[in-house]
Structure 1
Amino acid sequence: MEPDYTLYEIENLNFGDHLCCLYSTEKDHEALLTPFLKQGLENHEKVIYIVDSNTSPVVKNYLKSDNIDVESYLKSRQFVILTVKDTYLKDGYFDPDKMIKLLKSETETALKNGYSGLRVTGEMTWVLKELPGSERLIEYESKLNIYFPYSRCLAICQYDIRKFSPDIILKILETHPIIVIGTEFFQNFYYIPPEPYLGKNPKEKILHHWINNIKDRKLAEQALNEQEHQLRERIKELNCLYGISKLLEYPDISIEEIIEGTINLIPPAFQFPEIICSRILYNSMEYKTDSFDNSPYNLSYEVIVNQQIMKIDVFYLRNKPFLKEEKIFLKEIGDRLKLIIEEKIGEIKLKESEKEYRNAFNRSEFFKELLSHDIKNILQVLFLCTSQGLDNLNNEEYLGECFKRIIGQIEKIDKLVENVNKFSKLEEIELKLEPIDLYEVLKKSVNFVQRSSLDKTIKIQIKSTE
């Protein structure tokens, strides 16, 4: 049978629990008993407090200080304060079996009255008066461990360690599965079940129980050490996954840098980082740690990333086993890296698309301004030629010159339309840059201006350093 290592607190006590509290101050006494009683009342349990060294008003004040309407609970009989003479010493002497019978009866009555169970706490200082039967205290405490586990009852036995001798307290420790020291709960390593305690040859059985306890303690320590080891391994894995996710925080990081960063994060996350190396194969590229070397002791995981296979390999350079958790962990690395890379690819495509649309918009703005400028110039020349032609209808030579210029502007419009079509297909064609004679271009432009303004005197000078 494996030992139970449950951690107890006041709020998770259950029916069947048998506790003793060892206290040395009234402050600790109040701090423990107040929530114990309050919880029972709030859980619709029948609650009994057996007073001895304290008085009924003291107990009531515990609850009143916590804003509990004590009088209403007392009036309804859900909460009852009894004396030692009402319970332990009902017939003038103490009989463990009669007291347990009383607890059974009170539990049954509580259930019949609609309560969920019985919660009891008793002050044990009456034992120190050495009244008849008080020498059977330890027998009583041990027998309670036969009754409680199968009942709808739970109890705290109160021991003021300022008043009880160490011999009695040691026996009390042996008969309570749960100990409260001050206000702290402990699973009692020294508890002895009732079978060896009350049966024949108790010392032999107690010795056997202690030996088993020592063995169980070792098992518990081994289990704890293993859990600590597993926790450290999981923390290393979480640090790795966190580090991989953090790589995306660098806005200009490339996919290659993400994979290289991941490669360096993998080894420290495994059991034996000093003898491990890793490699990632993706997009016809190999990424690996500085100490990389193939070995037969390896673990691999493949995942499809952006329609390409990405393979992650981890190698131990010596014969070391991979944990089942590490196989799951490697898959987690691959799946997370897949999401990060695909997110980065989407981000790159989005930036390229934004750049493409931005360039298209800039070209359209440039084209709009250029087209507007050229059309205005053409219209201006056409208007000028038409006006000059109308003014010189009788001058055939001048009129012919005007018509030539009008035809030239029409040809220019045709050329402009052609250029617009070319401009719209700018990214579909391969542009060839060739040198031009800038002086000749300027010369033609000057001649055009002069021909377009025959009735004006325009002087244009072109200066060149060559």
Structure 2
Amino acid sequence: MAETRRHICLGFTEERYPEGTHICYLYNSDEERRRILPLFARHALLENEAFGYLADVDTRAELPGAAAALDLTHALAGPADQVQLLTTREGYYPEGKFDADGMLSRLRAQYAQAKAAGLAGARFAGEMDWALRGVPGTEHIIECESRINELVKEAPITIMCQYDLRKFDGAMMFDVMNVHPVMIVGGHILRNPFYQKA
């Protein structure tokens, strides 16, 4: 018998979603992100979850500024064993090459660590601009995004992948929408009509 999933508050919508929801956040407004992301992070802590954020900056020294620019500083001021702020390189391609298996293993480990620490679960938000810079292995992003939908069945980490519509082309966005069951567009969350279940 399948374990019943917790339904969690994402912060920016009154509707509660099952933990393990895989969200694509398509945005073209930094002001909108400054409204949504702090709520998503804050409610991770209110739900007794671990929270990880991957900011697309080059060095760890730039992370505080990146957090401040998104009004995330307060939300990320939780206990060190509950909140993690990393660069996209550290989170997505720590060896200099994006590897889907490695990414999925890191997500699985983050969820397991959260549970082992006595937390109710985990959520994660990551910026995707790095995928436009020719990082080796980038061609496997959509494969990885698709496989996340299987991963969250066993390790229900709630994931928000952020794509800037001002930078990514329509073909890439079509592929992205095909592999995310839930999407945020114009600041509104909805079940994705473009999602194609594998």
Shared fold, TM over 0.5: yes
- 1:287-340, CA deviations, whole angstroms, 9 ceiling, x for partnerless residues? xxxxxxxxxxxxxxxxxxxxxxxxxxxxxxxxxxxxxxxxxxxxxxxxxxxxxx
Q: 1:10 aligns with which of 9, 13, 21?
A: 13
Equivalence map 1:45-444=2 (5 Å)? 45-52=49-56, 55-60=63-68, 62-64=71-73, 68=74, 70-71=76-77, 73=78, 75-194=79-198
Q: Secondary structure at the match of 1:90?
A: coil
- Following superposition, the deviation at residue 69 of structure 1 comes to 6.5
| Percent of aligned positions that are identical | 29
- Following superposition, the deviation at residue 60 of structure 1 comes to 4.2
Separation in 2 of the partners of 1:39 and 1:79? 12
Q: Secondary structure at the match of 1:10?
A: coil
Separation in 2 of the partners of 1:101 and 1:190? 27
Separation in 1 of the partners of 2:179 and 2:194? 8
RMSD of aligned C-alpha atoms? 1.9
Unmatched segments (≥5 aa) in structure 2: 1-9
Higher relative contact order (Cα pairs below 8 Å, separated by 6+ residues): 2
Letter in 2 for 1:27: E
Query: Which structure's residues are more often helix, by fraction?
Result: 1
Larger C-alpha radius of gyration, 1 or 2?
A: 1
Aligned to 1:33: 37
Aligned to 1:207: none
Unmatched segments (≥5 aa) in structure 1: 1-7, 195-466
Provide closer, same or farther for how the CA distance between residues 78 and 150 of structure 1 changes in structure 2, counting only shifts above 3 A.
same
- Whether the aligned pair in 2 keeps the contact of 1:15 and 1:151 (CA below 8 Å) is no
- Whether the aligned pair in 2 keeps the contact of 1:15 and 1:149 (CA below 8 Å) is no
Letter in 2 for 1:184: H
- Following superposition, the deviation at residue 87 of structure 1 comes to 1.7
Separation in 2 of the partners of 1:188 and 1:78? 30
Provide closer, same or farther for how the CA distance between residues 22 and 69 of structure 1 changes in structure 2, counting only shifts above 3 A.
closer
How many residues in Structure 1 have an aligned counterpart in Structure 2? 182
- Whether the aligned pair in 1 keeps the contact of 2:63 and 2:87 (CA below 8 Å) is no
- Following superposition, the deviation at residue 183 of structure 1 comes to 1.2
Separation in 1 of the partners of 2:76 and 2:105? 28
TM-score (norm 2): 0.85
Letter in 2 for 1:10: T
Runs of 4+ in 1 over 2 A off after TM superposition: 8-11, 53-58, 68-71, 149-152
